[in-house]
Amino acid sequence: MALRATVYRCELSLSDVDRGIYGDFALTLARHPSETEERLMARLLAWILFADPALSFGKGLSTEGEPDLWLRDPTGAIELWIDVGLPDERELRKACGRARQVVVLAYGGRKAQQWWAQSRAALARQDNLRVLALDDAVLARLQEVAARSMQVTATIQDGHLWLATPAAAIEVVPQQWLPQPSS
């Protein structure tokens, strides 16, 4: 008998001052049996950072050729493709050919640094690719507040994200690896 996904529900109250997006969202995330809570929370964080009522979660780890999150326009064209983790460079090139904008939300400490060092030159050639990195300590704190039913308040201003749950307050500042921030 195959293991089933575990369903997580998040009641999100969002104030994204940077993009002018405000509202309450009821999100449902399915955690694949092979997925860690850390990755699940990284996917939730990706949704918060790029919030849009039409942004949806992909089918999951078991579905190749599909992002973790995506935003499609009314014609079905892919406006935004988001991968969480350390995707293969070849797969990212394909995604860049299919979507108007592609975002990678990388995490994994030293492994992420190695991935970036190996992939940086090839990925820099993709004009529609953005790579952000998450700090391991932040993900560890997010994993601590993960629950099957969550209430989260998120505020985004000046590139900083503050998350509040009944149990914790966490500041998240993704590091921008690509495009290189201008000085």
The per-residue pLDDT for 180 is: 75
- Report d(CA 60, CA 68) in Å as an integer: 6
Rounded average pLDDT per 10-residue block, the chain, 183 residues: 84 97 96 92 97 90 80 96 96 96 96 96 96 95 94 97 96 93 60
The per-residue pLDDT for 115 is: 97
Cα–Cα distances in angstroms (integers) from residue 98 to residues 53, 73, 90, 123, in the given order: 21, 13, 13, 15
The per-residue pLDDT for 182 is: 61
The per-residue pLDDT for 177 is: 96
Hey, where are the domains in the chain?
6-178
Write down the pTM of the prediction.
Answer: 0.93
**Helix, strand or coil for residue 8?**
strand
Q: 6-178, what's its fold?
A: Restriction endonuclease-like alpha-beta roll fold (3.10.640)
The per-residue pLDDT for 145 is: 93
- Report d(CA 38, CA 141) in Å as an integer: 9
The per-residue pLDDT for 181 is: 67
The per-residue pLDDT for 5 is: 86
The per-residue pLDDT for 103 is: 98
